[in-house]
Amino acid sequence: MKTVLTSTGAGLDRREEIRRWDRDHLWHPFTQMQEYLADDPLVVVAAEGHYLIDDRGRRLFDATSVLWCNLLGHRVPEIDAAVSEQLGRLAHSTLLGATHPAAAELARRLVEIAPPGLNHVFFSDNGATAVEAALKIAFQYRLLTQGKEAVEKAAYLSLDNAYHGDTLGAAAVGGVELFHDIFKPILLPTLKVPSPYCYRCPIGKTRTDCSVDCADDVEQALAREGGRVCAVILEPGVQAAAGMLLLPDGYLTRVAAACRKHGALLILDEVATGFGRTGTLFACQREGVTPDLMCVAKGLTGGYLPVSATLATDAVYNVFLGRYEEDRHFFHGHTYTGNALGCAAALATLRLLADGAVVAAVSTKEQVLRDGLAPLASHRHVGEIRQAGLMCGVELVADRHTKAWFPRGDRVAYRICLSLRDRGIFMRPLGDVLVLMPPLSSTEDELRHLAASMGTAVREHLGA
């Protein structure tokens, strides 16, 4: 590792070799490669605490938790030890017709901490596959309870601006036009309702006259479809990839009631919001809602390894029980479902969260970050600052009064994020929304430095 960080001799040769291999062979996700290849890439070679370390030795505060999954920092001794210990026993074993202790224990722990009633756990690899499993479970549940004719007409209902992953089922219930429109010809048809984007309210309400009327759209859509909707899926509390859009208080409660009334399962995607990000262990707990199916990933393993889970109630799970020849079992799975090393990392992460102190501290840190960003709220190019716990988005606009966006080619937020690297901060925006999702274990001083540095960068790029 030390030779990679060296700026002369063999270290420099190795550094250039890595860059060449990256340019020649590596296709990066969500990245315009022509543009990427024209710039000098950030090459991360190590990490420590809340910092990434690049091949030039720079330490960069990890303000996006390596794509929202790192909860407690890098090289956490307890998680390192748990993975190492598990490696000494078993790296991987299938869950098809067998089990292993780490998977069984993790399933039990998830049931213990989840909203009451979610008693069954189906493991997969990442957020998208957890959602994919939930969608297929909902479809098969409808088939098993109502028959073939019912599923021929079945549909899913989701929100505009939604993001649930990039596999075909998950993309079908997504609603971010930039990500999903190109694939529409190969996606399942789904029903959409307007997202509660309060800053750009689709029904023309303001915060002063809003009574969560947007929740009526869900109720009306379910009523209009006459029982055709087999499941409603949404992210509770925050539509993360939409630019940290905050769902109004009470929205989730009203959607859950509408689902019960019209016989649709409720799927909650807690992939980004789970494990303390919003100040409660799961965002749905803020309104006391238990869904029929809940998807978790990202922070589950502390950001170490790809493990996700789809949790189900007894009412859903029991429908799949029967004699072998009835073919009621769930025909779905992955090679690395319930990987033992990932389960060990998850168990260690949950032990570190068990006393509640890390999650309880989020409310204080939320206020520290909020106070640090407050001076930006009146900036002429800041439309809105949205925050729930340590999930935060700062929406930049060309015109504060008309809420007009900057031309896409200007890439304003991206350039601000690039400049922050010179201040020791790594961030990645969503369009022209500056996204902050630092580790839950970030110190108050780190959060103040993050907010102050971002404010300085915005003013340098966009004026005072």
Whether residue 50 is found in the same domain as residue 95: no
Whether residue 151 is found in the same domain as residue 192: yes
Instruction: Determine the structural domain holding residue 129 and report its residue range.
Output: 80-353
Whether residue 392 is found in the same domain as residue 423: yes
Give percent above pLDDT 70 in the chain. Answer: 97
> What per-residue confidence (pLDDT) applies to 211?
66
Mean pLDDT lowest for which of 7-11, 157-161, 172-176, 263-267? 7-11
Asked whether residue 19 is assigned to any structural domain, the reply reads no
> What per-residue confidence (pLDDT) applies to 370?
98
Classify residue 422 as exposed, middle or buried by CB count within 10 Å of its CB (0-12, 13-18, 19+).
Answer: exposed
> What per-residue confidence (pLDDT) applies to 4?
44
Cα–Cα distance, 302 to 359 (Å, whole number): 13
* Residue after which a domain boundary falls, among 353, 378, 411: 353
Asked whether residue 27 is assigned to any structural domain, the reply reads no
Query: Which run of H or E residues covers position 394?
Result: strand 391-396
Evaluate whether 115 touches 289 at the Cβ level (below 8 Å).
yes
Asked whether residue 30 is assigned to any structural domain, the reply reads no
Q: Could you tell me the pLDDT band of residue 87, with boundaries at 50, 70 and 90?
A: very high
Q: Which of 187, 163, 109, 8 is nearest to 346 (CA)?
A: 109
Q: Which of 186, 272, 269 is nearest to 231 (CA)?
A: 269
Using the predicted structure, report yes or no on whether residue 9 has a pLDDT greater than 50.
no
Read off φ and ψ for residue 224, nearest 5 degrees. Answer: -65, -35
Whether residue 153 is found in the same domain as residue 191: yes
Evaluate whether 207 touches 172 at the Cβ level (below 8 Å).
no
Name the domain count of the chain: 2
* Residue after which a domain boundary falls, among 353, 379, 396: 353
Q: Which residue has the higher pLDDT, 1 or 74?
A: 74
> What per-residue confidence (pLDDT) applies to 171?
96
Please state, rounded to an integer, the average pLDDT across all residues of the chain.
95
Q: Which residue has the higher pLDDT, 204 or 214?
A: 214
Q: Which residues pair with 69 in a beta bridge?
A: none
Asked whether residue 12 is assigned to any structural domain, the reply reads no
Q: Could you tell me the pLDDT band of residue 116, with boundaries at 50, 70 and 90?
A: very high
Mean pLDDT of 326-343: 96
Asked whether residue 34 is assigned to any structural domain, the reply reads no
Asked whether residue 17 is assigned to any structural domain, the reply reads no
* Residue after which a domain boundary falls, among 312, 330, 353: 353
Whether residue 204 is found in the same domain as residue 234: yes
What CATH number is given to the structural domain containing 319? 3.40.640.10
Whether residue 184 is found in the same domain as residue 50: no
Task: Dig out the tokens for 400 from the structure.
Answer: 């504060």
Work out the widest C-alpha separation in the chain, in whole angstroms.
71
Whether residue 118 is found in the same domain as residue 243: yes
Q: Could you tell me the pLDDT band of residue 12, with boundaries at 50, 70 and 90?
A: confident
What CATH number is given to the structural domain containing 407? 3.90.1150.10
Whether residue 192 is found in the same domain as residue 341: yes
Q: Could you tell me the pLDDT band of residue 212, with boundaries at 50, 70 and 90?
A: confident
Whether residue 194 is found in the same domain as residue 318: yes
Whether residue 149 is found in the same domain as residue 297: yes
Using the predicted structure, report yes or no on whether residue 27 has a pLDDT greater than 50.
yes
